[in-house]
Each structure stands twice: as structure tokens, then as C-alpha cells.
Structure 1
Amino acid sequence: MTALAVPAGTLARRRARTAAWSALAAVVLVVLTGVALGTGQLSLSGWDALRALVGQGEPGNVLVVQQFRAPRVVSALIAGAGLAMAGSVLQRLFRNPLASPDTIGVTGGASFGAVLMLATGASQQLIPLAALGGGLLAALLLGGLAWRSKMAVTRLVLVGLAVQQGLAAAVNLMIVRFPAELASSAMQWTTGSLYGRNWTEVWIGGSAIALTALAVLLCQRRIAILDLGDDSAGGLGLDPGRDRLRLLLLGITLASLAAALTGPVAFVALAVPHLVRLLAGPPTLGTLGLTALTGAVLLLSADLLVLHVIPVHGLPVGAVTATLGAPWLLALMIRQGRPPQRSN
């Protein structure tokens, strides 16, 4: 059933449900942010953490909150929202619930670019830029294969899986050949980590992610028209093939920017859109906003688990999201493999 055929009462209920879940997610996000800023070896109350965030209070508190905790928290919020929105866009464009940056080569490209930069001994500040370049390179490779073979975008997920695995093999080969001191850094980055984020990375990466996310929101109507099918989209003035490839590049850019900020954090982009559809119904502009909030909540929650609950020092946040996401992916694949139920 398309949005045009949904009764007004049903649409109103869906909007109310989306608004309620969005409000709840926003409240949870504020609470988690307060906990993240105030918890650690230096424990602060929520009020003291807030005062330190705006430069008031004890100088030591201000230093810890502003320079160490806040960049990490903001990175988690921005990257989580960006990854979740990218996953939602890619799943709609591919018409495949398994499509995400994790499965079409984007995270593999980001890892390849970052590890290659580590191999050259370049400055650590260039690693996010190399990750972005690697993710976009994977996107160009995917788009080039589609353009030359006239392959439908909806079938590119299979090619993306092959690209992802090939890039992962290249990354593993480089890590094996690394000196021990570089191998540890490379392994931590390729798993996805929020460790050591600074305000320069946050401002540059966050600004780029925000602008790309705004472009995605502005394209929501175009995506909704493509949801109606290629014939209907063509009748409404779109070029389905060209518009899908353009929106594909936009979604991949958003995922690449998020990966450049935090590393290739797994399964956020895959799981969050499914969870939002389960809670709020079919995708709309409102559910896309809820998707961003939920992605931020998920990644910040995983980082709090890494820092304060799991007794493993230096554990990357991507290890937690991958552990949580693997059963989800298995259940999703089993569900997709089941034949449709027949009504009597």
C-alpha cells in the first residue's frame, strides 16, 4: 500500500507514534549524554558536567569534559545518526533489507584507505581523510560496475558483498605485514573506535555529515517517489536509474563520512532502520529523523558499555555493535529466507 492510498486516520496514528518515539529517543539521548560526560575516573554530577561543558566550574573538570569526554560523545552522536540514515537510504534504494554500508563495500573501502595511510607512515590526522577517500573509491567502483554492465541498482548488493570481501582481504594482508606497533593501531581502527577523537576531527567531520544528512532529508520526497516503483516514478517525471545512482552516491558519501570519523562501526546502519520500521511503521520524513536519533542512541550506548561496563581495556566500540548485530543479521537472513505464509 502506498502512502497515497493510506487512510487519513492511519496516517495520523503513524505520525503520532513516530512523534512519541522521537520524543522518547531525544530524552534518552539527553540522559545518556549527561551520563557520558559525568562518568569516569573523575565522577561528576549532571549539573557539574553541564557547567564544565560550557566552561564553568573547576578548571580540572572543564579540561576533562571539554577536551576528552565531549569530543568522544559528539563523535558517537554524529556518526551514529549518519550511519543509521545512510543504512535507511541504501535499504530503500536497493529494495533489499540486507543492504547497508557494511555489505556493499563502503566500510571495506574506508578501512582500506585508513590502513593504507597507516602503512605509509603518514600523520594520524590524515587517516580520516584517507578513510573517506577509500569509502568513496568503493562507491565509484560499485557505480562503475553498474554503469558498464547496465546492472539494476537493486542487484548491486551482491557485487557490493564481493567488493567488501576483497577489500577486507587486502586490509588483512597489510595488517599481517605491518610491524607490531602499527598492527595494533590498524586493528583498533578497522574495528571502529571512538578513542582519541578531538575537536578538529569533530568539527570537520560533523559539519560534512550534517550537510550530507540535510541533503538526504531534502531528497526524501524523491526517495518516496522511487519507492512507488520505477514505472510510477518515471510517470512522475523522474529518471529512475539516474536518480537511484545519484541517491546511492549520496547515501554512500554519508556512510563514508561517518566511517572517517569513527572507523567502520558495524551493524548500526543495518539494524537501526529495521528497528525503526518495527516501532513506527513505513519510512517517512519523520521516521528518517527517528532513525537518526536511534542511531545516535545505539552508538553512544555501546560506547558507554565499552567504557564503564565491559571489563576489557581498550575494547573498540565496533566490537560491541558487531556482537549485538550478528544475531540480528542472522535472524534477518533466516526471516528473509522463509517462504511467504499462505492464507487459507
Structure 2
Amino acid sequence: MAVEVTTPGTLPSVRQRRRALRLIAVCAIALVLLTILAITSGEVPMPVPSALRAAVGFGDPGAIYIVQEFRAPRLVAGLIAGAGLAVAGAVLQRLFRNPLAAPDVMGVTGGASLGAVLVLAAGAGQALIPVGALGGGLFAAVLLGVLGWRSGLPVLRLVLVGLAVQAGLAAAVNLMVVRFPKELAGSAMQWTAGSLYGRTWPEVQGAAIACAVVLIALALQYRTLAVLDLGDESAATLGVAVSAARLRLLLTTVALAALAAALTGPVSFVALAVPHLVRMIAGPPTAATLAATGLAGATLLVGCDLAAQHLLPIDGLPVGVVTATVGAPWLLILMLRESGPAHRRNT
């Protein structure tokens, strides 16, 4: 049985806009507080004024080094990756009208993991891991498109093919990790669990520029996405080549998700859960709710990373473990909700 949700094609009400704007404001305030916490807390705690001065290059040289070389890159990486994953998940769920569509379900994060592990297996430096992850994510998108193309990219077929692609790529990653030398296996396992540890400014700056380009490309296609929300038949009546438009949006969204995964590794459930939470709070999808989704994803990932660093009694715990722990119950609730009597009556 297909699990689908429909998106209203009506214009958002004033009340919905206000809810979206309030959510944006709440997330922005939360991000400011999390930013202050991220740059002040750690093995070397700092007062807020000292940390803020160090962030802009003033004050004690040791404080400047700690904030600018360790804490700030990790924080910015979490902001970029969280926003990118959440927006990618929201677009995929709208594109396929399926609440389970997400990069970690459709095979994108599995491809990113395979690309990163291949870079490690080739003996390349850590700096090339994001490049390998991006290539792996795009490879997964191409594989997904090829395997689903015969049926004109229908929703259910792509989701099922994505699950198969994700499982196959995860198996390949596990096989390679098992055959790694011991000195490489630890690095590979930490990355594939999803971690913000050790991010550097060149990696963060490169990801920020690439994500900005992809987001611009996505914004240029937003009107097409809104038309597709009306349904394939209505979109075709309005002159949209449905299969080609869906494929372009798919590739753009996968590029965004792959760039985010290249920065953090395959962090689970951010792309799946955040769009649902935003819809529950702010209502049907609009441009404002998409912006709120990005801010909420950044807030969730940075918050989970801070919890992994400072609240849990395990040193070096990857943030992906925390997001998976938070997201697994949500996935179970979602599946039970979608299989309930009310949904069955609508299918």
C-alpha cells in the first residue's frame, strides 16, 4: 500500500504565515543561544565576553586559537549540514508526496558514506573525504534515477528503489570497513556514524559556497515544485514536463543532501523528522516554512552535537548516534500514524 500525503494547493492564510514567522524567530533565538554555548563550553570554559572577542580575533591568543580553530568550524559545520539536510528532506517529501522520503532513506547518505570510505581506502587525506562523499551521493542519485526511470519516476517505485540502494551501499561500506587496516577502520567508523569532530575552515568554507549555489538553483525551481504540489495531472495541464521537472529537482536536492553529508557524515533522521515537525507547527509547506525548516534543522543538529559533547558521559560520541536515538521513536510514531484507520480510509 502506498503511503502518500497530499499538499494543499491553496495560498497560505495570514495565520499560517504568522505561525511560520514565529517559528523562524524561535529558531533564530535558539541558534543564538546555542552559538554562545558552543563557543564558551568545553574543556577550557570561557566567559561569554572573552569567547565573543576571541571569535572576532581579539583577546588572549590561546582563547582565539581554541574558538577559531576548533569550536567555530564545528559550529558552522553543524549549522550548514543541519539546514541542508532538513531542506533536502522537506523538498523530497513534497516532491514524492511521501512522509518517508528523506536522503537517508533514498540512498543519498549511503552513497556519501561509500564515497568517503573509498577515499580513505585509497590512502587520500582527510581533506578529500568531502569530495568523495559528494561524488558518492551523486552516484546514488544517478543510480536511483536509472533504476526508477522505466516507470517514469513514480513515487512508490522511487521510494522502494531508494531503500534498496541505501541497503546495498550500506552493505558495501560495512564490507570495506571490515577489510580495512585497524588504523583506518576507526576513522571510517567514526565518519560513517555521523560526526562534526575535526572540521576545518577550508572544508566549511567550501561546503558553504557549494550549498549556497545549490540553494540558489533550488530557489529557481521553487515555482515548479509548487506546481507539482497540485498533482501530476494538474502540473502537466499547466505545461510542466512532470518527469523531467521531478528529475531536475531530485538531482538538485540530492546535491544539497550530499554536500551536507560530506560535511558531517550520514547523520540520521534530521532530514526525515524536521519537515514533519515544522508542518505540525507552521502548517502546509510554503517558502516561509521551507526557511523555517532550514533553521529548525540547524537548531536540532547543533543542539544534538552539544548534547553529545557535554551532556552524555561518553567521550567522542558521534552526533549521529544522538540524532538516531532521538529520531527512531519519531519514525515509529510516524509509521504507526500513517498505517492507522484514518489513513487507510484515505488510501
Q: Same fold (TM over 0.5)?
A: yes
Q: Which residue of structure 2 aligns with residue 333 of structure 1?
A: 335
Quick one: distance in 1 between partners of 2:220 and 2:40?
36
Structure 1 residue 239 corresponds to structure 2 residue 241: yes
- SS for the counterpart of 1:96 is coil
Q: Tell me, what secondary structure is at the counterpart of 2:342?
A: coil
Deviation at 1:23, TM superposition (A): 0.6
Gaps of 5+ in 1: none
Query: In the alignment, which residue of structure 1 is the partner of 2:275?
Result: 273
CA separation in 2, counterparts of 1:150 and 1:41? Answer: 54
Determine the structure 2 residue equivalent to 1:23.
Answer: 25
Rate the CA distance shift 1:76–1:5 in 2: closer, same or farther, 3 A.
Answer: closer
- The one-letter code of the counterpart of 2:172 is A
Q: 1:166 to 1:5 in 2, by over 3 A?
A: closer
Q: Is the 8 A contact 2:106 2:163 kept in 1?
A: yes
Could you say what secondary structure the match of 1:282 adopts? coil
Q: Percent identity?
A: 61
3-state SS of the aligned residue for 1:311?
Answer: coil
Contact 1:153 1:241 in 2 (8 A): no
Contact 1:93 1:154 in 2 (8 A): no
Q: 1:223 to 1:79 in 2, by over 3 A?
A: same
Match among 195, 198, 201 for residue 197 of structure 2: 195
Superposition TM-score, scaled by structure 2 size: 0.95
Answer with 74-83 or 217-226: which moved more: 217-226
Q: How do residues 79-90 of structure 1 correspond to structure 2 at under 5 angstroms?
A: 79-90=81-92
Deviation string, structure 1 residues 198-239 (Cα, Å, up to 9, x no partner): 000000011111221232233222111100011111122211
**Distance change in 2, residues 1:2/1:127 (3 Å):** closer
Distance in 2 between residues matched to 1:52 and 1:112, nearest whole Å: 38
Q: Which one of 208, 211, 214 corresponds to residue 213 of structure 2?
A: 211
Q: How high is the TM-score relative to the length of structure 1?
A: 0.95
Matches within 5 A, 1:139-178: 139-178=141-180
Give secondary structure in 1 for the equivalent of 2:105.
Answer: coil
Work out which of the residue numbers 102, 105, 127 in structure 2 matches 1:103. 105
Q: Judge which range, 228-237 or 148-157, deviates more.
A: 148-157
Distance in 2 between residues matched to 1:92 and 1:149, nearest whole Å: 19
Amino acid at match of 2:33: V
**For residue 257 of structure 2, what is the aligned residue in structure 1?**
255
**Matches of 1:297 and 1:45, distance apart in 2:** 22
The match for 1:304 is: 306
Q: Which amino acid in structure 2 is aligned with residue 274 of structure 1?
A: H
Give the RMSD, CA atoms, in angstroms: 1.6
Paired residue for 2:36?
Answer: 34
Aligned counterpart in structure 2 of residue 137 of structure 1, from 116, 124, 139: 139
Structure 2 CA distance, aligned partners of 1:166 and 1:5?
40
Return the alpha-carbon distance in structure 1 between the equivalents of residues 299 and 237 of structure 2: 39
The answer to whether the Cα contact below 8 Å between 2:116 and 2:136 also exists between their aligned partners in 1 is yes
Residue number in structure 2 paired with 1:220: 222
Deviation sequence 1:2-53 (CA, Å, 0-9, x none): 76645xxx71010011111101110110110011011112111222211111
Would the aligned equivalents of 1:153 and 1:245 in 2 still touch at CA under 8 Å? no
* Per-residue deviation, 1:146: 2.1
**Which shifted more, 214-223 or 293-302?**
214-223
Question: After the TM superposition, which of the residue ranges 253-262 and 44-53 deviates more from structure 2?
Answer: 44-53
Structure 1 equivalent of residue 3 of structure 2: none
Other-structure match for 2:126 = 124
Equivalent-residue separation in structure 1 for 2:153 and 2:29 (angstroms): 44
Q: Which amino acid aligns with 2:99?
A: P
Q: In structure 1, how many angstroms separate the alpha carbons of the residues matched to 2:98 and 2:215?
A: 21
The answer as to whether partners of 2:116 and 2:132 remain within 8 angstroms in 1 is yes
* 318 and 125 in structure 1: CA distance in 2 versus 1, 3 angstrom threshold: same
- Rounded to whole Å, the distance in 2 between the matches of 1:149 and 1:214 is 30
Q: Distance in 2 between matches of 1:3 and 1:177?
A: 50
Q: Deviations over 1:40-90 (max 9, x none)?
A: 121112222111111011111111111110000000000000000000011
Q: Distance in 1 between matches of 2:127 and 2:277?
A: 35
User: Do the aligned residues in 1 keep the contact of 2:152 with 2:243 (CA within 8 Å)?
Assistant: no
Matches of 1:216 and 1:154 in 2, distance apart? 23
Q: Structure 2 CA distance, aligned partners of 1:232 and 1:71?
A: 45
Q: Provide the rounded CA distance (Å) in 1 between the counterparts of 2:263 and 2:290.
A: 21
1:290 corresponds, among 279, 287, 292, to: 292
Q: Which residue of 2 aligns with 1:318?
A: 320
- State the alpha-carbon separation in 2 of the partners of residues 4 and 193 from structure 1: 38
CA–CA distance in 1 between the matches of 2:156 and 2:40?
45
Query: Contact 1:94–1:155 (CA<8 Å) still a contact in 2?
Result: no
> What is the CA–CA distance in structure 2 between the aligned matches of 1:269 and 1:180, rounded to whole Å?
32
Alpha-carbon displacement from aligned partner over 1:277-301 (angstroms, at most 9, x marks no partner): 0000000000000000000000000
The CA distance in 2 between the partners of 1:232 and 1:198, in whole Å, is 47
CA distance change for structure 1 residues 56 and 94 in 2, over 3 Å: closer, same or farther? same
Cross-structure match for 1:78: 80
User: How many equivalent residue pairs?
Assistant: 340
